[in-house]
Amino acid sequence: MKESVRKAYEIARERYAAYGIDTEAVLSKLQDFHLSLHCWQADDVAGFESAGDLTGGIQATGNYPGKARNIDELRADIVKAKSLIPGTHRLNLHEIYGDFGGKRVDRDQVGPEHFQSWIDWAAENDTKLDFNSTSFSHPKSGNLSLSNPDKGIRDFWIEHTRRCREIANQMGMAQGDPCIMNVWVHDGCKDQSVNHYRYRSLLKDSLDQIFAEKMPYMKDCIEGKVFGIGLESFTVGSHDFYTAYAAANGKIPTIDTGHYHPTESPADKVSALLNFVPELMLHVSRPVRWDSDHVTIKDDATQELFSEIVRAGALDRVHYGLDYFDGAINRTGAYVVGSRAAQKCMLCALLEPTELISKYELEGKTFQVLHLLEEAKALPWGAVYDEFCERNDVPLGDAVIAEVEKYEKEVTSKR
Ligand code: RNT
Ligand code: ZN
């Protein structure tokens, strides 16, 4: 196999060179491309706080055996998944995945001490951390958290989110690289309601309070969506709301690819937003008919998203989080498939002969543009990806299945 991978790569290298693309330079860019693996695929967004239901308008479906039940199992699963994904990648933690030592630590009591063991683990495992506040799956979650007219509840969530920024800041300081902290709250209404302006004013005010303190080692991102389950009629943190907030306050909008209307293109947001905001965060997911959070694949929507980032020359202005949670599939395998698919999209984006296509476009030569874009789809990018796996000493093809099945047999099936 090694030999045929090498040969195929050499041919691919020549084919791309004919279009002015240096595959060696592309491979080194791909090596520098870091995903942020979402810890919550390992256990269907359960966390270590309580065995309560998942609330907040999101749902993980499926009951595949072997999910991680505690911090050690989750760490082992992440280490396994990472060993099957070429390159080095970050880990994105949610607050409910703290190391609470068996004690009940309420969300307005959480502190950096509950993440010290994660910080240590990350250093030992050459992994940088990102972070998320958690507004869902809590008795005070209700339908409204940061926009709740009840000041007591609102203040509880403000305190939680403020503390999460301190944790993120601590992580960023320890790892010598900013921790990217995402704020997503589920706030919304199931049915007709008349207080929209009030809720949004409250959310704005809560965010202003949360972000008041400067935190040099972390960056804030804010994530909108169309609607949550059971909150279908109104979403306080809509895209317009957060886009305006981010632009006015220099914050980072999060593009979750499952959070738009079915025919709306998340990819088209990239060039629009980057003219007004410093950076973007991605939550790469796969909506199937709704925000279903299926495992990411290399579909057209995902490809276009990564292509738009590369075409905008914005590789370094984007943080690449994943956000899917499928409980119906081997969860280690899900990490591997989704991460490798995102990498493949990035690879194809980097291999596009954009300069040449752009030249034709600027000359008004439309057929030529279309032709080259179509040709690019069939160039031997797979051979370049296989070579990337070989160089990173990560299995390809069937060998991935064997590894995942072995881990399932020896570890996850015994849970
Ligand atoms: C929900 C958002 C959010 C969550 C995670 C668990 O619709 O996408 O990002 O999926 O925080
Ligand atoms: Zn998301």
- pLDDT value at position 50? 76
Query: Which atom number of ligand 1 is nearest to the Cα of residue 132?
Result: 11
Catalytic pick from 89, 184, 186, 294?
Answer: 184
CA distances (Å), origin 331, targets 74, 212, 328: 11, 38, 8
> How far apart are alpha carbons 263 and 260 in whole angstroms?
8
Please state, as a whole number, how many other Cβ atoms lie within 10 Å of the Cβ of residue 45.
Answer: 23
CA distances (Å), origin 125, targets 90, 97, 119, 121, 331: 10, 17, 10, 6, 20
> How far apart are alpha carbons 175 and 226 in whole angstroms?
34
Residue 318 class from Cβ within 10 Å (0-12 exposed, 13-18 middle, 19+ buried)? Answer: buried
Could you tell me if 104 and 48 are in contact, meaning their C-beta atoms sit under 8 angstroms apart? no
Asked about 32 being catalytic, the answer comes back as no
64 Cβ contact list (under 8 Å, min separation 6): 327, 328, 329, 330, 331
Q: What is the mean pLDDT of each run of 10 residues along the chain (415 residues)?
A: 94 98 98 98 94 90 96 98 98 98 95 98 98 97 98 98 99 98 98 98 99 98 97 98 98 98 96 98 97 97 98 98 97 98 98 98 98 98 98 96 98 97
Which of 283, 325, 326 for a ligand 1 pocket mutation test, highest count of atoms within 8 Å of Cβ? 283
> How far apart are alpha carbons 35 and 63 in whole angstroms?
26
- pLDDT value at position 1? 75
Please state, as a whole number, how many other Cβ atoms lie within 10 Å of the Cβ of residue 393.
Answer: 8
Could you tell me if 305 and 284 are in contact, meaning their C-beta atoms sit under 8 angstroms apart? yes
> How far apart are alpha carbons 269 and 255 in whole angstroms?
8
Report the separation in Å between the CA atom of 59 and the middle of ligand 2, taken as the mean of its atom positions. Answer: 12
Placement of tokens 């002015």 in the chain: 20
Residue nearest to atom 5 of ligand 1 (CA): 323
Could you tell me if 213 and 165 are in contact, meaning their C-beta atoms sit under 8 angstroms apart? yes
Our CA angle for 326, 224, 333, nearest 5°, is 20
DSSP-derived pairing of the beta strands 318-322 and 286-288: unpaired
Query: Which atom number of ligand 1 is nearest to the Cα of residue 223?
Result: 9
Q: What are phi and psi of 91, to 5 degrees?
A: -125, 130
Number of helical H runs and strand E runs in the chain: 14, 12
Asked about 22 being catalytic, the answer comes back as no
154 Cβ contact list (under 8 Å, min separation 6): 145, 146, 147, 148, 202, 206
* Per-position DSSP letters for 175-236, written without gaps between them: HTSPEEEEE----EESS--S-HHHHHHHHHHHHHHHT-S--TTEEEEEE--S-BTTB-SEES
Q: Domains along the chain? A: 1-32+352-415 (no CATH), 34-348 (3.20.20.150)
CA distances (Å), origin 83, targets 77, 164, 229: 10, 29, 35
Beta-bridge partners for 218? 179
> How far apart are alpha carbons 310 and 353 in whole angstroms?
11
Burial 129-150 (b: 16+ CB within 10 A, else e): bbbbbbbbbbebbebbbbbbee
Asked about 225 being catalytic, the answer comes back as yes
Query: Which atom number of ligand 1 is nearest to the Cα of residue 258?
Result: 8
Asked about 371 being catalytic, the answer comes back as no
Report the separation in Å between the CA atom of 21 and the middle of ligand 1, taken as the mean of its atom positions. Answer: 37
Cβ < 6 A, ligand 1 pocket = 40, 45, 58, 132, 184, 223, 225, 256, 283, 291, 323
The residues whose Cβ lies within 5 A of ligand 2, an ion, are: 256, 283, 323
- DSSP SS3 for 253: strand
